[in-house]
Chains A and B, each alone.
Chain A
């Protein structure tokens, strides 16, 4: 018996959400661009949206089964739902919010370190505090399934890292089947055991974050995971590698076999930058111009014309890089993965 079994079709305005997914006592993140139908999946599990056909079951309890005419009401399903923007009741205190569904809130308020806020109204809370209240409220009735809709979206970048680590620990400790929706692959990879990539209501690929990064099924998944996707034509070269003549001009080498039109996946964190082509083991050296620099904490995202590199701010300062500078981007042939086009 799988803790949470989903196999349903839910018509939306532009497309149908069609999902078949079994969730064990694990966290599965659904990642995709906005409008991919991620929230609709959660609403269907909670009973707030009614699929056209299919089955939703929590262990032996069937919550929805179109063939047998079963559609259990939201209040009778055992679901803890953390809504986007949290949907806290503005006229009730933190404690009243948490105990809205019944039960005592003391232990949860303590567990989520919000007991000092018990008498506070949601309007006076910070983003991180609100998130914790929403989680406490969702857990108050000891649900058998946890649903989280963009739990990190309402947080400012400063608190994000710490809140993410806390949420990660909590999800491990709860060991509930949890479905988490996010548009951010980094959040998904940090929080979830498995990640499903959703586009236009269909799952493109499901796997561990490492699976998705190591072997993305298609360019869409690779781009979502943060990769540079470079198109070109591949041919076998004398040195036993594959040479790809990129549409953008340069030729790069990959260790994967391949031929014909192909996409090359290069992760920004595998790309290093230098003023002159270094004499190292990396086979690929591409001379390119810096378009923009975006700091991300202790790292920075350096957008070149051809691809994007991610380097530490320390390196950035050492190399004194500025937009408009011409630099050499280097990466190994083993860090250029080929996606064969089908």
Chain B
């Protein structure tokens, strides 16, 4: 009985691993390194790479700049309706990306919620690079906020209280204690959000379209190429896997870079 269960566990694990790893292996088997370099030299790929890097960088910077203070507030303040706000923050996580695209159109589109105001200002957002940035920021921000809130909540409150009694203003407490003590968690959340943003597809294609050199990001380029030139689609996919693997390695290594954990330093036995 015990042996049978052990075999069952081993088989289940092997099937799960094979299922997850095989497609990844398949891509590299189909794309020799020379083809990869060739595909990456093509205009479609280069344009998509530029659009992806530019829009992701802007969207990610915006998510960090607005998301970090927001996460600090949501983590440290207790107010009525906080649970609801936290649930709203996570809502985009459970939305299909296509729904996010439609929602963004309904907000920023010509006939959308803010359409009249934007028209009056002469601003058109859908099917521009701005739309890509908005779509990417929309889908990646919950990933960052969730991680950042958890990282800030993990800080021992008595440290923040101590800083207050030492004359530190709330802004100084945030800068000198909040940010450095949560740095590890913030970095991990940032990497996860960045990966999600780079892979954004559904919301972008609906809200921003797929114009080469303007709104066609790498995932959209894969979709555009997979009928025209499957090899290029394969090559871009391989590129993604490499970037994703790098981000994951960085995430797994992050505890090494973390500051000495709070609990350890507070309760460590005398040495």
**A residues in contact (CB < 8 Å) with B:** 43, 46-48, 73-77, 79-81, 83-91, 100-102, 121-128, 137-138, 140-141, 156
Report whether B158 and A123 are in contact in the complex, using a CB–CB cutoff of 8 Å. no
For the complex, what is the distance from the CA of A338 to the CA of B176, rounded to whole Å? 57
Q: Give 6 new A-B contacts, CB below 8 A, not counting A88-B266, A90-B181, A137-B162.
A: A90-B260, A101-B166, A123-B260, A124-B271, A126-B271, A141-B167
Contact check: which of B165, B167, B265 meets A122 at CB < 8 Å? B265
Residues B247-271 near A (CB distance < 8 A): 259-262, 264-268, 270-271
- Nearest-neighbour CB distance to chain B for A77, whole angstroms, equals 8
Known: A87-B159, A127-B270, A156-B270. A141 touches B166 (CB 8 A): yes
Residues of A within 8 A of B214 (CB): none
Residues of A within 8 A of B162 (CB): 81, 83, 87, 89, 137
Known: A85-B267, A126-B271, A156-B270. A100 touches B181 (CB 8 A): no
Chain B interface, number of residues (Cβ within 8 angstroms): 27
Known: A85-B267, A91-B259, A126-B270. A100 touches B166 (CB 8 A): yes
- Nearest-neighbour CB distance to chain B for A49, whole angstroms, equals 10
Chain B residue, CB-CB nearest to A77: B165
For the complex, what is the distance from the CA of A73 to the CA of B81, rounded to whole Å? 25
For the complex, what is the distance from the CA of A121 to the CA of B261, rounded to whole Å? 12
Report whether B260 and A87 are in contact in the complex, using a CB–CB cutoff of 8 Å. no
For the complex, what is the distance from the CA of A89 to the CA of B162, rounded to whole Å? 9
Report whether B168 and A75 are in contact in the complex, using a CB–CB cutoff of 8 Å. yes
Report whether B265 and A85 are in contact in the complex, using a CB–CB cutoff of 8 Å. no
Residues of A within 8 A of B264 (CB): 123
Report whether B159 and A48 are in contact in the complex, using a CB–CB cutoff of 8 Å. no
* In the assembled complex, B164 has its CB within 8 A of some CB on chain A: yes
- Nearest-neighbour CB distance to chain B for A178, whole angstroms, equals 14
Report whether A48 and B166 are in contact in the complex, using a CB–CB cutoff of 8 Å. no
Chain B residue, CB-CB nearest to A79: B165
The 4 closest A-B pairs by CB, nearest first: A101-B166, A123-B265, A126-B270, A90-B265
Using an 8 Å CB-CB cutoff, how does the interface string of B148-184 with A read, 1 for contact, 0 for none? Answer: 0000000010110111111111000000110011000
Report whether A90 and B266 are in contact in the complex, using a CB–CB cutoff of 8 Å. yes
Residues of A within 8 A of B166 (CB): 75, 100-101, 137, 140-141
Residues of B within 8 A of A100 (CB): 163, 166, 168, 176
Chain A residue, CB-CB nearest to B270: A126
- Nearest-neighbour CB distance to chain B for A103, whole angstroms, equals 10
Residues of B within 8 A of A87 (CB): 156, 158-159, 161-162, 266
Residues of B within 8 A of A122 (CB): 265-266
- Nearest-neighbour CB distance to chain A for B57, whole angstroms, equals 28
Contact check: which of B169, B261, B266 meets A85 at CB < 8 Å? B266
Contact check: which of B158, B163, B271 meets A84 at CB < 8 Å? B158
Chain B residue, CB-CB nearest to A86: B266
Chain A residue, CB-CB nearest to B165: A81
Residues of B within 8 A of A121 (CB): 260, 265
Q: Which of B167, B181, B270, B271 has the most CB of A within 10 A?
A: B167
A-B contact pairs, 5 of them (CB 8 A): A43-B161, A85-B266, A87-B158, A140-B166, A141-B166
- Nearest-neighbour CB distance to chain A for B132, whole angstroms, equals 38
Residues of A within 8 A of B156 (CB): 87
Residues of A within 8 A of B164 (CB): 46-48, 73-75
Report whether A75 and B158 are in contact in the complex, using a CB–CB cutoff of 8 Å. no
Chain B residue, CB-CB nearest to A143: B165
For the complex, what is the distance from the CA of A76 to the CA of B11, rounded to whole Å? 65
Report whether A89 and B260 are in contact in the complex, using a CB–CB cutoff of 8 Å. no
Chain B residue, CB-CB nearest to A121: B260
Residues of B within 8 A of A88 (CB): 265-266
For the complex, what is the distance from the CA of A185 to the CA of B175, rounded to whole Å? 40
Report whether B265 and A75 are in contact in the complex, using a CB–CB cutoff of 8 Å. no
For the complex, what is the distance from the CA of A101 to the CA of B166, rounded to whole Å? 5
For the complex, what is the distance from the CA of A43 to the CA of B164, rounded to whole Å? 12
